Every structure is written in structure tokens, then in C-alpha cells.
Structure 1
Amino acid sequence: MDHNPNIIVPNANLRDLGGNKTQTGMEVKTGYLFRSGHLSELGEEDFKQFKNLRLRTIIDLRRPSEIEKYPTPNLEEVETLNFSVSSDDNEFAVAANFLNGEQLPTEITGKIIEKYFKNSVTEKLDSYIPVFESLTNPDNFPLLFHCVAGKDRTGIVSAFLLGILDVDESVIIEDYLLTNKLREKEMQLKEKQIRDHLVETTENSSETLIEERMEIAQSLLYAKENFITSVFDEVKKNFGNWDNFRLNGLKISDERVKKLKNFLLTD
């Protein structure tokens, strides 16, 4: 992988969103806005890098069960805000448990992740509104937001935020897909483990059923462009454009977004 100065801790999918250019010729400041996966397995050097971010706020998008399993390192000077944007019993959570060896209900299909992304703009949007009340407060920066892998929930929040900051959709896609490069070895290993497990446990070793289950596993493991573009499509379908989505969907006022842009963007 080419060197990318914004990648801080590759193993944690931790990176700086600074440097992303807007359509108005501005760019996001470096050192203020970060995204990542869980931070419970940082080595000594990685922890130093994490601490050197001098964060003021961490926004944790995970469910309580995930926080218990992968606790975030405690830094006294950092305030952690928990906003679970996914419940334990929804289809996304049930499908995610499949990666940990749990049985997958037959009604779950490979389309579940794309559906989850679409719903984030519509029926699940209310769960993101409090997230953005904190994300648009300059007093909370430097700020990091994260989930478990730093892919789906984190990817949605990143897309929403970059979108309302006027970053081009092609740049948002590139940011989302970067997860695949950072977690490539981990995902390939997990994919092999899941396939081996399915071969051992699938009745009559049905190749069709195994491939159906692998399609779901791959959707859970990998960032796919159609997931994030489905967000763009739903924004346009339901709100017309990012500005209307910001105002009428996320309930962020013109004054609030102006203050955020003045703080977070630079020439």
C-alpha cells in the first residue's frame, strides 16, 4: 500500500479525515477529525500514536455488548459519548454475529448490508441525529468516532459528515473503500475461517448454500462501493440534495453548519 500520512494506526483502521477537499476549494483540517474501528487491541506504539491525537471527545457508535467485548482504552482527559445506532436484535446485528460463528437465520441475505445503509437515511435516521449534535459542536474537537471494524456505522457517519461539508461523493467513496486496504489480511483470514467452518457444518456440504452464506460473510467483511452509493441515492431520493438532508434530516441548522465549516475547513 502506498504511504498515506492520514493513516495513523492501520490495524485499528484509525485515520485522519483531514485533507479531504470540498467542492468549494476548501479542505478539512488535519488533526481534528478521526475515524477508526475498535481500539481495544492497540500495542504499545499504537497506543502512543492514539494518545498523541490529544482527543477531546470519542463518539462510540457500538452496541453495549460490543463495548463490553472490545473496551476502549481509558484516557482521563477524553470524554466518551455512547450512541448505539444499531440494536442487538436488528438484522444487521444478527448478521454480524454470523462472523463469530453463530447460526444465520435463513431470511438473512447478502442484501442486508445495503439495506442497512439505505435505512440509515430513512427509518433509522433518528438514531444518527444525536450523533451529529455532538459531531457539529466545535467544542468537542479533536474528535474520533468509531464502531467495531470502522467500516459500516463509521462509514455512514463519515459519509454524512463529509457530505454536509461539501466533499465530493467520489472522495467519500474513496474514504469508505480505504477500509479494504487497511484490513485486507485480517479480512482474508476471517473469510477463509468462515468458509472452512461452513464446509464442516453445512448439511450435505451444499455448495449452493455455502456460497449464499459466503456472499453474506463477504458483505459483512468488505466495504463495497454500492453500499455507500446507496446512501447517496437515498439522500437524493428523499431529500433532493445534501443541504436539505442536513437541514431536514439531521436537523442541523444553517447557523450550526456555518460555525462547523468555519472551524473545520481551511483554504
Structure 2
Amino acid sequence: MPQKRSKRPSRLTPSPSPSASSASFDLASPDRPFDNILNFRDVGRSVNEFAGNKILKEGVLFRSARLDDASERDKHRLIDDINLLTVIDLRSHTEHVLATRRRQISLSLTPSEEPSFPETADRPHLLDLPGVKRHFISLTGRAFERLLLWRLDWYNFIKVIGLLTSGYRKEAIRVIATNVMKPRGLIGLGQDTLDSAGSEIRDVFNVLTSDDAYPVLIHCTQGKDRTGLIIMLLLLLVQETAPDVPLTAIAADYSKSETELRPELESLMKEITDIGLDEEYAKTPPGFTEALKEHLDTKYGGAKAYLLSIGCEEANIEKIRRRLLLL
């Protein structure tokens, strides 16, 4: 059975009385619905349920899509029920800029609503979570961007540089998406991320080294691919000493995102097509986990060897593994 953590005093003002809709909440379930947070789950519970065995600790590692539109009840759930202490946000600077614009438009349309602004006033889209430490680590950082740029032909390379220089970042992204990301597919981009984003992945794992980080929530925009990559690395790391964690369970946790994101499929498809990608990017391609595991095994010698190769310390890697594994 998962260990019960002591209930801390609430860091929020009392939440509004639950509406009739709250009766649909399964209060015994760590994955009971949120009002406005998609693709949320307890990773340990997800794997344990699929494996039919208690292998991983529950209530320590969570994943989701963006938190930007969370309701007050959602905030109370994260703070008081889950006892969340850390959020790792994997989104890029461009995504934060676009999210801020969306929030500003939304606020102008609903002036009667009183928003909760976080400490980072330049990012008003962020959910204010008292007592929660945030880490902003763009998984697709400069090295990843350079890799994509070098995959362009000369004509499109010069075109992208011109667009970026002129401040047309979204248009530049569309050229890259159409000519590089779409042909590579999600599996190819996952491999590219592993190969080029070692510094960013090391930063994520450095955060996870601290016992004070848990419970921790990892998310990107949809909580599907970048979040899925980090979660997959963590689970493959555990699997290397705990073969009871089946690869099928790791793959199933990734695949859940496609179903979980269906309520937002229409808007997701618009975001994807706007930058020149197709419907594959709204799905979880079969074989994603298996292909990335093979890439790790073939090129690096496995998940732990990969983490060592990007500069993670062995003692810290073992500490993370023990933090997740139900010994």
C-alpha cells in the first residue's frame, strides 16, 4: 500500500463550496477529475495498475498538461490533497509568450473574473501555487533548435534565419515544422531530443535529486511527448534494476495521453496545423517507447548509461531510482 503522507495546513484560502458537479469526483482516486487540467495522472499508480503489482511508489511523481487554466478547486486539489511541492515546466519561451497572449485576451473578454497572478508578473498565464517551487526547463532548448536548423536545406535555412532576425519567430517555426519536424515524426524527434537536449535533461534530473522536491509534477503544453520522454527515462531507469516494471506498462502510460487529450483535440489540431504539422502530432504513435528504448540501449547502453553520459552523478541517479521504487 502507498504510504500516507501527513496532511499539511492549507496554503490557500478556503475553497468555494463544491458545486453539484463535484459529486462526480471519486474522492478515493488519486486521478479523480480536475475541472481544467487535462492528462493528469499519478505515474506510480498508472504503472502499478497496468502491471497488476505494487512496484512503484504512489503519490510522489505526477504528470499532466499545462496548468494555466486550472480552477480554484483544481488549485486546492494540487496544494491540499496532493501536497504538491514542485512543478517542472518543460515548455519553451515561445510557448510561454503565446500562453501569456491567450491569457491577456481571455482576461479582456471576462473582466469580472479576478485572476491569481504568480510572482513572475511577466508570465500572467501561470497558475499561482503558494508554497510550490517552479522550475522552467525548456526541453527543446538551443542545442535542439540548432539540430533542427542544420537539418534544413540551404534555402530554408536562410529563410528561417531571416524570419528570426526580423522577429517572425512563429513563421520561422512553421518552416522548420514543415521541412524537418513533420518528416522526422514524433519518434525521430524523441531521438533527436535525447541526443541534443542532454543539458536540459540533466537539469530536470538534478531537480529530482532533492527529497524536498517531492511530490513533483512534470508537464509541458499537452503533457504528451516532452513530458512523456522524461517520464519514460525515469521508468526505464527504474526498470534496469526492477524488471517487474514491464516495458508494456511504460508504453501504456505514454499512450494514455492520446485518450486523455481528446477533450481538447479540436484546439490541439488547430495549434498543430497552424505551425505546419499533421494529425500524427496529436497522437501517441505505436512503438514510441520501444523505439526510444532501443535508441538508448544501442547508442548509450541504457537509461542509466545515458544519464551518466550527460553529466548526471551516479549517486544522484541511484537516489532518484530509490525515490520512485517501492522497496
TM over 0.5: yes
Matched, 1:224 2:280: no
Code of the residue aligned with 1:122 in structure 2: it is D
The alignment partner of 1:122 has SS state of: helix
Q: Give CA deviations for 1:159-211 in whole Å, capped at 9, x if unaligned.
A: 0111111143211110001011111232156548988x9xxxxxxxxxxxxxx
Q: Are the structure 2 counterparts of residues 80 and 184 from structure 1 closer, same or farther at C-alpha, using a change threshold of 3 Å?
A: same
Please say which structure displays the higher CA radius of gyration: 2
Residue number in structure 1 paired with 2:263: 185
The alignment partner of 1:128 has SS state of: helix
The alignment partner of 1:28 has SS state of: coil
Paired residues of 2:255 and 2:284 also in contact (CA < 8 A): yes
Q: Tell me the TM-score normalised to structure 1 length.
A: 0.76
Residue number in structure 2 paired with 1:235: 296
Alignment of 1:109-128 (within 5 A): 109-128=182-201
- Tell me which of the two structures has the higher relative contact order, counting C-alpha pairs closer than 8 angstroms and 6 or more residues apart: 1
Residue number in structure 2 paired with 1:210: none
Over the aligned positions, Cα root-mean-square deviation in angstroms equals 3.3
Q: 2:90 aligns with which of 36, 61, 65?
A: 61
The alignment partner of 2:66 has SS state of: coil
Could you tell me how far apart the structure 1 residues matched to 2:271 and 2:92 are?
25
Q: Are the structure 2 counterparts of residues 131 and 73 from structure 1 closer, same or farther at C-alpha, using a change threshold of 3 Å?
A: same
Residue number in structure 1 paired with 2:70: 42
Paired residues of 1:164 and 1:246 also in contact (CA < 8 A): no
1:153 Cα deviation after fit: 0.8
Could you tell me how far apart the structure 1 residues matched to 2:141 and 2:71 are?
30
Q: Are the structure 2 counterparts of residues 248 and 190 from structure 1 closer, same or farther at C-alpha, using a change threshold of 3 Å?
A: closer
Q: Are the structure 2 counterparts of residues 226 and 133 from structure 1 closer, same or farther at C-alpha, using a change threshold of 3 Å?
A: same
Code of the residue aligned with 1:229 in structure 2: it is E
Q: Give CA deviations for 1:76-105 in whole Å, capped at 9, x if unaligned.
A: 20110111111489359x9xxxxx999843
The alignment partner of 1:132 has SS state of: helix
Residue number in structure 2 paired with 1:174: 252
Q: Are the structure 2 counterparts of residues 131 and 226 from structure 1 closer, same or farther at C-alpha, using a change threshold of 3 Å?
A: same
Residue number in structure 2 paired with 1:136: 209
1:74 Cα deviation after fit: 1.4
Could you tell me how far apart the structure 2 residues matched to 1:245 and 1:37 are?
26
Unmatched 5+ residue regions in structure 1?
95-99, 198-212
Residue number in structure 1 paired with 2:323: 263
Paired residues of 1:13 and 1:149 also in contact (CA < 8 A): yes
Q: Say which structure is richer in strand.
A: 1
Q: Give CA deviations for 1:30-71 in whole Å, capped at 9, x if unaligned.
A: 111111110011233333322232111111111123234163
Code of the residue aligned with 2:265 in structure 1: it is M
Worse overlay, 63-72 or 147-156: 63-72
Worse overlay, 114-123 or 82-91: 82-91
The alignment partner of 2:218 has SS state of: strand
Unmatched 5+ residue regions in structure 2?
1-25, 101-124, 150-159, 161-169, 240-244
Could you tell me how far apart the structure 1 residues matched to 2:268 and 2:192 are?
27
Residue number in structure 1 paired with 2:41: 15
Code of the residue aligned with 1:60 in structure 2: it is D
The count of corresponding residues between Structure 1 and Structure 2 is 240
Code of the residue aligned with 1:186 in structure 2: it is E
Paired residues of 1:57 and 1:78 also in contact (CA < 8 A): yes
Q: Are the structure 2 counterparts of residues 87 and 263 from structure 1 closer, same or farther at C-alpha, using a change threshold of 3 Å?
A: closer
Q: 2:134 aligns with which of 61, 80, 85?
A: 80
Q: Tell me the TM-score normalised to structure 2 length.
A: 0.63
